[in-house]
Amino acid sequence: MYSKKSNKSIAGYHLLMILSAIDGEFAPEEGIYIQKYLADEFPFKMDLDDELDTIATLKQQDWKKHFEFHAQCFLDDSTEEERISFVKFAKTLIKADEQVSEPEHDYYKMMKNIWKLD
């Protein structure tokens, strides 16, 4: 299912999209953070329709594998400093709606564990 490795920026997009949706609702505040990430990571025009389509068509039972895969892609393509920065950004994202659900916390911890950032 995931034969094509993603680069760090695309992997980060997948991670943030899943983190923002895992609690069952996509808060507008979370959308603002994702837009900021996209502006920082893709200063040039980037067509992410295929990426969004991939995420949108995932079955909920496949989210964990997809998330782990992209966390690994990000790990393979980033420095420790970039991972630490991304974790801080992801934490801000999941707190954007002023509540952190258990699934958001679990996925956030899973990402930190994959990156050995505890």
Any domain includes 1? no
User: Considering its fold, how many domains does the chain have in total?
Assistant: 1
> What pLDDT was estimated at residue 60?
86
CA 110 to chain centre: 12
d(Cα 75, Cα 70) in Å, to the nearest integer? 8
Domain hosting residue 90, numbered range? 8-114
Task: Give the tokens for residue 85.
Answer: 């920065």
| pLDDT tens, residue order, the chain (118 aa) | 555 789 999 999 999 999 999 988 888 899 999 999 999 998 787 788 899 899 989 998 999 999 999 999 999 999 999 999 999 999 999 999 898 999 999 999 999 999 999 8
Any domain includes 22? yes
Any domain includes 87? yes
The CA distances from residue 35 to 38, 42, 76, 94, in Å, are 5, 10, 24, 14
> What pLDDT was estimated at residue 2?
54
pTM confidence score: 0.91
State the CATH number of the domain containing residue 49. 1.10.3680
Any domain includes 106? yes
